[in-house]
């Protein structure tokens, strides 16, 4: 059976400025299929290769796959639907499968708008896809599908979702196949080396209101540090990878395992550097461990500082403070690593003053890098429901972190974008002329100048922050946000959509909503700087002795 995996050709001008990233789902899903005996696999990265539709048609026509698989985060959903529509036209008898976070929760809307899709895989896909593929190969999937957990499909024009499959209990059973990529295409620009995005842990014990990753993975789990480093060694030795970013939402929450991971990397002396996203409170908790992190090759830490105002931090349920943000950045820099601060912009209470406030904070905090990300109201996040019909823009292609979706009460969207671009220009001009060239650490200086080159290159080509939509008319800056006007809804249209069950998010996995994991509570209870989930908060409030730091 011929199986083709396709990464849809979607671009937005965000993370791509640092290079081309190999999509992780291909290695993990492809590896699961190979382990199950499905060896005729081909991966087409239409995104990295920037394949036009006609070329994709030719590839499909030539290969005649029996199954075509694609993935979609929210901004990629329309391109994913279009990709599979092309597949339906070119290989009419193929089974078409879509996975990813957006179709997991929005399967009703996706199947309604794209009825040519045969199956949607909901949630963690490695075990689901093997069972589904075995049924397809046997020619019994139409008969079996009601009993295959974790999928959605159309039957007689109606959307059907089967009960959820349990999350994978033991992540050490994952068998990623990193040979599926054309590795020369995946270069991390700051260091000019090959880059990978492996997965050490899945899930997050925190419940930030603007995020849904914790709902998607449903439980926090981490892999064996030794087995994970085996995977890193494969990437380094066999595929010449020189840099990796952990795909994890929260890689450091389990301090024992993360420390063991760093110790194993130090022991093996692999010639590789890496980066992570993590929480401010983990940096404060693990101050004594930071020299080990750097010795293990960790050089870039992106922090979810998120907001300059404590009011917004509390609203996002970040469980951090302004003072903690500043201290974490100081500690990262002190130990020779790159500290990157993240800000969420474009909420309904945004003003010119709050945008300027974020710039004052970066001057005070002194991070090595800063990102101003536009608030993206994921249609399956708690904050989306609170905002209600204020989320008038339902053009998901623009839910890309670089386009203002919300209309602030006191500003136009275009003015939010102008303010953010001004912050970027001021911040990186200052870094370029006053800081980066004078960094004493030779490696960090080279790294930061490489980041600056990536930033400048994509600014010149107008890819950064989708600058192609920004034009000068005389002395005036004009911006065309490019919304599909048919997807900018009135309050009446939003109300009508809410009445259609299939058009709304289903975050319960058929009743198997994310629960409270006792192991997560244990980890959190041992960590006085990381506040636990609500249940753990209540338990700790009744404790008679203070929590002790994890060993």
Q: What is the pLDDT of residues 155-165, one digit of tens each?
A: 999 999 999 99
Provide the CA 550 distance to its chain's centre, in angstroms.
28
The reported pTM is 0.90
The mean predicted confidence, pLDDT, of the chain is 89
pLDDT exceeds 60 at position 533 = no
pLDDT exceeds 70 at position 521 = no
pLDDT exceeds 50 at position 541 = no
Which token pair is 387? Answer: 């905002």
Beta bridge partners of 202: 221
Please state the domain extents for the chain.
3-161, 184-487
Question: Where do runs of H (alpha helix) occur along 278-412?
Answer: 280-285, 290-295, 310-315, 322-334, 352-365, 382-387
Determine the Cα–Cα distance for residues 448 and 211; give it in Å rounded to an integer: 29
pLDDT exceeds 70 at position 333 = yes
Q: What is the pLDDT of residues 339-394, one digit of tens each?
A: 999 999 998 889 999 999 999 999 999 999 999 999 999 999 888 888 888 999 99
Angle 160-162-167 (CA atoms, 0-180°, nearest 5)?
A: 145
pLDDT exceeds 80 at position 315 = no
pLDDT exceeds 70 at position 398 = yes
Which token pair is 332? Answer: 């990262």
Q: What is the pLDDT of residues 193-250, one digit of tens each?
A: 999 999 999 988 777 777 777 788 888 889 999 999 999 999 999 999 999 999 898 8
Is 184-487 the same fold as 3-161? no
Burial class of 422 by CB neighbour count within 10 A (0 to 12, 13 to 18, 19+):
middle
- Give pLDDT, residue 536: 36
Task: For the chain, give the percent of residues with pLDDT over 90.
Answer: 76
Q: Which pLDDT band holds residue 530 (cuts at 50, 70, 90)?
A: very low
pLDDT exceeds 70 at position 336 = yes
Greater pLDDT, 525 or 41: 41
Q: Which pLDDT band holds residue 306 (cuts at 50, 70, 90)?
A: low
Q: What is the pLDDT of residues 50-65, one digit of tens each?
A: 999 999 999 999 999 9
- Give pLDDT, residue 13: 80
The domain made up of 3-161 has a fold known as Rossmann fold (3.40.50)
Nearest Cα residue to 275 out of 160, 193, 383: 193
- Give pLDDT, residue 550: 33
Q: What is the pLDDT of residues 70-125, one digit of tens each?
A: 999 999 999 999 999 999 999 999 999 999 999 999 999 999 999 999 999 999 99
> Would you call 370 helix, strand, or coil by DSSP?
strand
Q: What is the pLDDT of residues 407-447, one digit of tens each?
A: 999 999 999 999 999 999 999 999 999 999 999 999 999 99
Q: Which pLDDT band holds residue 540 (cuts at 50, 70, 90)?
A: very low
pLDDT exceeds 60 at position 462 = yes
Please state which CATH number belongs to domain 184-487: 3.80.30.20
Which token pair is 59? Answer: 């590839």
Determine the Cα–Cα distance for residues 64 and 203; give it in Å rounded to an integer: 36
Strand extents, DSSP E, 354-473: 369-374, 470-473
- Among 112-116, 388-392, 453-457, 545-549, the minimum mean pLDDT is found in 545-549
The region that residue 366 occupies, defined by phi over 0 for left and psi between -120 and 50 for alpha, beta otherwise, is: left
Determine the Cα–Cα distance for residues 356 and 368; give it in Å rounded to an integer: 18
Task: Please list the helix, strand and coil fractions of the chain in percent, rounded to the nearest 5, in that order.
Answer: 45, 15, 35
Q: What is the DSSP letter of 550?
A: P
- Give pLDDT, residue 227: 96
Q: What is the pLDDT of residues 244-290, one digit of tens each?
A: 999 898 899 889 999 999 999 999 999 999 999 998 989 999 999 99
- Give pLDDT, residue 305: 74
Q: Are strands 369-374 and 338-345 parallel, antiparallel or unpaired?
A: parallel
Q: Which pLDDT band holds residue 292 (cuts at 50, 70, 90)?
A: very high
Which token pair is 93? Answer: 């008898």
Q: Which pLDDT band holds residue 548 (cuts at 50, 70, 90)?
A: very low
- Give pLDDT, residue 220: 83
Nearest Cα residue to 265 out of 236, 288, 286: 236
Greater pLDDT, 302 or 318: 302
């Amino acid at each position: 059976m011929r199986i083709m995996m396709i990464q849809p050709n979607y671009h937005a001008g965000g993370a791509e400025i640092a290079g081309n990233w190999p999509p992780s789902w291909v290695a993990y899903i492809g590896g699961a299929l190979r382990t199950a005996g499905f060896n005729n696999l081909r991966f087409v990265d239409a995104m990295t290769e920037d394949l036009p539709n006609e070329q994709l048609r030719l590839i499909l026509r030539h290969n005649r796959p029996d199954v075509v698989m694609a993935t979609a985060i929210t901004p990629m959903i329309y391109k994913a639907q279009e990709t599979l529509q092309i597949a339906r036209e070119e290989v009419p008898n193929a089974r078409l499968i879509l996975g990813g976070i957006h179709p997991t929760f929005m399967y009703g809307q996706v199947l309604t708008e794209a009825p040519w899709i045969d199956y949607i895989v909901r949630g963690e896909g490695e075990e689901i896809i093997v069972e589904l593929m075995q049924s397809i190969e046997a020619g019994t999937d139409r008969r079996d599908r009601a009993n295959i957990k974790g999928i959605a499909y159309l039957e007689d024009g109606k959307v059907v979702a089967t009960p959820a499959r349990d999350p994978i209990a033991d992540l050490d059973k994952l068998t990623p196949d990193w040979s599926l990529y054309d590795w020369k295409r995946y270069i991390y620009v700051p260091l000019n080396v090959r880059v990978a995005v492996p997965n050490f842990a899945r899930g997050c014990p925190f419940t930030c209101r603007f995020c849904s990753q914790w709902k998607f993975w449903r439980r926090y789990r981490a892999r064996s540090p030794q087995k994970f480093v085996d995977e890193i060694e494969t990437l380094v030795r066999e595929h010449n990878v020189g840099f990796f970013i952990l795909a994890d939402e929260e890689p450091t929450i389990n301090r024992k395992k993360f420390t063991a991971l760093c110790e194993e990397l130090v022991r093996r002396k692999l010639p590789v550097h890496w980066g992570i996203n993590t929480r401010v409170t983990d940096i404060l908790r693990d101050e004594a461990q930071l020299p080990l992190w750097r010795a293990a090759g960790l050089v870039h830490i992106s922090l979810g500082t998120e907001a300059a105002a404590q009011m917004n931090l509390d609203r996002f349920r970040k469980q951090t403070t302004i003072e903690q943000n500043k201290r974490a950045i100081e500690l990262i820099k002190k130990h020779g690593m790159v500290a990157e601060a993240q800000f969420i912009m474009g909420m309904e209470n945004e003003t010119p003053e709050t945008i300027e406030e974020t710039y004052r904070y970066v001057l005070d905090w002194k991070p090595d890098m800063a990102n101003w990300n536009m608030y993206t109201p994921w249609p399956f996040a708690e904050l989306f429901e609170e905002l209600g019909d204020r989320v008038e823009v339902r053009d998901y292609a623009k839910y890309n972190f670089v386009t203002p979706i919300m209309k602030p009460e006191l500003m136009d969207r275009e003015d939010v974008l102008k303010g953010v671009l001004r912050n970027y220009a001021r911040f990186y001009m200052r870094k370029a002329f006053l800081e980066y060239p004078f960094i004493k650490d030779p490696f960090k200086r080279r790294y930061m100048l490489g980041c600056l080159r990536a930033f400048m290159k994509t600014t010149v080509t107008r890819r950064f922050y989708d600058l192609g939509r920004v034009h000068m008319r005389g002395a005036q800056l004009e911006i065309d946000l490019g919304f599909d006007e048919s997807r900018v809804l009135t309050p009446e249209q939003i109300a009508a959509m809410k009445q259609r069950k299939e058009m709304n998010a289903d975050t319960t996995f058929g009743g198997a909503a994310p629960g409270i994991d006792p192991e997560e509570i244990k980890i959190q209870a041992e960590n006085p700087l990381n506040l636990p989930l609500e249940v753990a908060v209540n338990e700790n409030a009744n404790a008679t002795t203070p929590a002790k730091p994890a060993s």
